[in-house]
Amino acid sequence: MRVRPSWLAAAILLVAFVPNVTGTAEPTPCQDPDYAHAISYLLPLKYGPNYTHFDYTNPKAPKTGRMRLPVMGTFDNYNAILEKGRVAAGYDDAGGLVYDRLLEPSIDEPVSAYGRLADGIAKGPNLDWIAFRIRDDAYWHDGVPITLDDVLFTFEALREHGSVSIRTALADIDHFFPFGEREVCFVRRQDRELNPILPFAIGNYNILPKHYWDEPEHDITKTTVDPPLASGPYRLKYAEVGRVIEYERVDDYWGRDIPVNKGRYNFDEITFDHFADEGVMLEAHKGHVFDIREEGVSKNWATQYNFPAVREGLFKRELRPLGRVEGLWWPIFWNTERTQLADIRVREALWLLYDFDWTNRVLFYNFYKTGLSFFQNSPMAHQGLPSERELALLEPWRDQLPPRVFTEEFKQPHSTGFGRQRHNIARAIELFAEAGWEIRDGVMTNVETGEPFTLDFIGVSYYSIRQNLSLVDNLKRVGIRNSGRSPEVSQWLFRSRTGRFDGNSVRLGPGHTPGLQLRNWFGSDAADQDYGQNWAKIRSPVVDSLIETIVGAESAEELYAATRALDRVLLWNFYFIPLGSQPGFRLVYWDKFGEIRNDSLNRLPFVDAWWYDEAKARKVQEGLERLGG
């Protein structure tokens, strides 16, 4: 299928100046761009223009061996840009194994990206435009060069046929056009607020082959089980739809030795096996059916990794710290449109009735850290008392803020983790009384109306409801009748978006560029939008003001002051019960690989930066034979 080449009209704009309505002249976008090798957000780049490779890669790593990975679920589609279908692992719309993108993120920096298909990037004042210069030595797996036509085709297809998330990410683009021999210019819409991550969003999407999709038998608007032509370090070798997919390394891959790829993509083969059951997957891993994964269940992490291969040192169980923002792990939040939950005293009382230490010990095997910040594990998290920069943001709102925002560091209620925390329950009852509630005949009752206090909890899964056990037990003790259920996911989303709940839970892990994300989670405007995620219905001018400061931050110091101030405001208003935060990545693997160990990365790059260690692999094989495996 052919995509309409709307860039032709845009290219006509390539004149020296464009008159505006006042008769003055404005410079043409992307005129004389000053190209750089990389871009970053707020912080300086780690790697200069003459860098040769990322520090977490090994340029001398051997190119050999195989890595086998599991996937929960199935796949039935290789066209990742669509809403429909379940995309095969490796064919993602960003990154993956088979395609190339304009920019490659550096995972040992908060937010930086370096040229991959592009060898230069330039930005206009106020991000009015972004220019990319395309390499002249890149080619598809069929030997056809990658050109500007492919780049233009890709973004036309993404904007016209891409999923909602893709079209939303690119909604700030007004138009784009080619110029020079191998340059493309993206012009930002002036009627939309500046989005500092727009260059990263554009650079993140894989570039698709125009000449392949132009063929009449290929339709980019439809799912496909025929693997499309690609350009990246791997190509599909074998697949059984829904069961297994195997990739082989492309020996003559064009980008093998460019700096962002040097020392990466070291395995000759990468295999993904698909599973329908977590328990079966766990046993398959123990049986050496595949090599490596993240353990997602706390109970398994604590109890399932003491089999003989572990004791022999052949199989590793390691908690790996990461440099990503961990945030809060499925905190409880309240629907503040409910009359009783609009009262901060009631929300604080409910916070006191939740015993995280007991929950973590009994249900999660003490895996999680105490949740203390929406930005946990990052410099954006609040620390101690407010700094001068924070106070400058908070003081104008002092009369609208809880006094403890200024005087106390937020901490979870004291608990031993054993038995009932009577002091917390007693204080909660006092707060209920201050808010006009009292216990009558064992029922928490509104003093004025005589109505009983009830709570209806929903959660995306059984575990979301199970984590409320300590709260549910204490609610019964103070006479609050409650119910909890985990409806089917689409029903949970519907009820969350329409406010049909009292208590709920959601994963909150913001990225290193959190501004627009925070507006969607906590901003007043999002409280009235079905597609927003401010399901707590927070409507606070203080919160809105701090989010706008975050969005417009022009330095790391300005960003950190605003996120820390926002952190305090959200926590001391008790919109959420924070629960816990992940302490790292639960890595379990057969010890057959080499790596450059780095505990400050945003992710663990075992697929793209580790390598096969033949000596270790031989030791594992000999050990399994010795154990009778």
Phi, psi of 494, deg, nearest 5: -60, -45
Question: Using one digit for the tens of pLDDT, what is the confidence trace for 278-307?
Answer: 899 999 999 999 999 999 999 999 999 999
Q: pLDDT-derived band of residue 12, with 50, 70 and 90 as boundaries? A: very low
DSSP helix/strand/coil, 569: helix
Structure tokens at 74: 């199935």
Give the percent of the chain with pLDDT over 70: 96
CB-CB neighbours of 492 under 10 Å: 19
The β-bridge relationship of strands 437-440 and 443-446 is antiparallel
- Segment 455-466 shows an average pLDDT of 94
Q: What is the dihedral of CA 205, 207, 210, 216, to 10 degrees?
A: -60
Among 68, 96, 92, 72, which Cα is nearest to 82's? 92
Domains of the chain: 7-56+70-233 (3.40.190.10), 277-322+584-627 (no CATH), 332-423+451-581 (3.10.105.10)
pTM of the model: 0.89
Q: Give the pLDDT of residue 5.
A: 41
- Segment 466-490 shows an average pLDDT of 95
Question: Using one digit for the tens of pLDDT, what is the confidence trace for 67-118?
Answer: 999 999 999 999 999 988 999 999 998 888 999 999 999 999 999 999 999 9
Q: Give the pLDDT of residue 410.
A: 97
Q: Give the pLDDT of residue 6.
A: 38
Q: State the average pLDDT for the chain.
A: 93
Cα 313 → chain centroid:
33
Instruction: Provide the greatest CA pair distance for the chain.
Output: 84
Question: Using one digit for the tens of pLDDT, what is the confidence trace for 301-329?
Answer: 999 999 999 999 999 999 999 999 999 99
Residue appearing with tokens 């990468």: 270
Q: Give the pLDDT of residue 83.
A: 86
Q: Give the pLDDT of residue 247.
A: 98
Among 317, 311, 312, which Cα is nearest to 285's? 317
